[in-house]
Amino acid sequence: MDRAPSVILGLCSFTHDSSAALLVDGELVGFVEEERLSQHKHTKDYPRHAVEWLLGEARLTATDVDVVAYNFQPAHYLVESPAALRMALSSTTRGRTLPRAQGFAKVALRTHLRTRALGRRFPSARVSPVLHHRAHQLTAFAASGWNESAVLVVDSLGERQTTTIALGQDALHPSTHTLEAINDPASLGYVYGAVTEHLGWRRGDEEGTVMALAALGDRERFRHLFARAVHTTPTGFSLDPAYFPPRVLISGYPRTSRRFIAETCPERHPSEPIQDVHRDLAAALQERTDQVMLHLARRARTITRSRRLCVGGGVATNCVSIGRIIEAGIFDEVFVPPAPGDAGTAIGAAIAVHTGSRSRRPVSGVARACYLGPSYELQALDLTPWPGLQQKTLGVESAEFLADQLAQGMIVGLFQGRVEAGPRALGNRSILASPLEPGVVERLNATVKFREPFRPFAPIVLAERAAEFFTLGQEAPYMSMASGVTDEARERVPAIVHANGTSRLQTVTRSQNAFMHDVLSAFARRTGVPVLINTSLNVKGKPICGTPEMALDCLANSGLDALLLEGWWITK
């Protein structure tokens, strides 16, 4: 008989994108990223607000926690220190040998001390470190709800691993078995982050900007450079250190080499204008990323023989590469969880501990779930801190009202229900606009989101009518896949078609989000188009709004026309 309650707190903390998840007797109570509550984007702080909310939601205290599942294993960092000595054999890498060995040893010790510090916060709990890629694998596989699939995880670094291919099995008691792994310094996430930084954007935050810029460039200009720098092998890929020197986990060591700069361009300062060379570099980077991801997907198909694929890790947020895998027809279906990056590993770490305890209780509340954070439906609304805002209460026809305002050209923030998991707007913390409105993309970028004018906006569409506008051929509930578009889309809603002829698609069913389904249906009745622009409820540099206060700040300090907040219609 299982001990009751079995309380497992999964944590991502101290690195970036801090988050927490809580499993009680195998059931997911909730999951939330700390930035949604603390207002500090990509925070690495201990997720205090997230943990407090989860324990309060379950009516528990810190002393009730049995296990803290942490998303890194310190000892696995330590293994890389002696392994780094092999780099002394090459003149290209010799200068980084000792700093690399020291850096991995330092992080191993730091991670160990962090796990001990976590134990002091939960006096009745043991701390269970979980291999980072295993946490990624379980997050992706468990969220799919499938009973079996290949699992591909591609990120920058998890201890030593950067890429793993596993077989996932058993929807009720999820498990993954790693079949192949690629270790650092071969890292696709490292390369993408390095070029993002070289082009003048923040590594670990603005890779999506580079992905968007890639559509405007000439891939051929630097195609051969990236083919040399990121070389595919029969079982994966490797990096040429002459272009991307081995990682050193100590600051002050650049990720691109002098040769890379000489053969491409100088580093761009964020204030400098974007030139053709920057567009072309982004285009070649994206093309090579697509090629390597396709190569890895084919390898996953070969060694697992599965007809389904789950993809996790930071590189899984590259919707263009995911779209390419789907288009290639390697698998019958491809799935990306709502939180494929490090934040989501809080869920996977908790699942690893639960299934490792041999509990007979199934994992529940994870499969196809993304609305997992706090909600604020019953809170009274006080606009005193925002004297320029006005409010009125809407009736039961709020979906019809919202659709009407959107059809008239308003740009509206939407705040409803529980906070979503992951980096995309999934209909509870969204900015919505009509794709039929002239100049809507320019207006959104310039006055609402305050971001680069070439950035595209994603469409949200009724799942039952998606095939009229998009060629993806499968559901895309978490806005993680770029789809080709039909002639109908090009003709009727060109605002949602990016320069490369794709759209980062989100499909919506009634069971997934009834309110958004009603809004899209009402908008379709008025316009004939079941498609809206959907972007996250935030401005550039700020996290997605997790609380009413954050949403009201967003309305007051941006070009939003209105905010629909839990039945309140708020305008300026």
- Hey, which bits of 463-537 come out as E strands? 481-484, 502-508, 531-536
pLDDT(508) > 80: yes
The SS3 of residue 532 is: strand
pLDDT tens for residues 446-481?
999 999 999 999 999 999 999 999 999 999 999 999
- The CA distance from 254 to 157, in Å, is 16
Output the CA–CA distances (angstroms, integers) from residue 53 to 29, 99, 157, in the order listed.
10, 41, 29
Output the CA–CA distances (angstroms, integers) from residue 565 to 13, 173, 393, 426, in the order listed.
30, 38, 10, 15
Distance of CA 36 to the CA centre of its chain: 14
Predicted TM-score (pTM) of the model is: 0.97
Is 6 within 8 Å of 361 (Cβ atoms)? yes
pLDDT band at residue 3 using 50, 70 and 90 as cut-offs: low
Q: Mind spelling out the 3-state secondary structure of 200-258?
A: CCCCCCCHHHHHHHHCCCCCCCCHHHHHHHEEEECCEEEECCCCCCCCCCCCCCCCCCH
pLDDT(379) > 80: no
- 97's tokens: 């040998």
The per-residue pLDDT for 5 is: 57
pLDDT band at residue 195 using 50, 70 and 90 as cut-offs: very high
The per-residue pLDDT for 292 is: 98
Is 50 within 8 Å of 33 (Cβ atoms)? yes
pLDDT tens for residues 197-253?
999 999 999 999 999 999 999 999 999 999 999 999 999 999 999 999 999 998 889
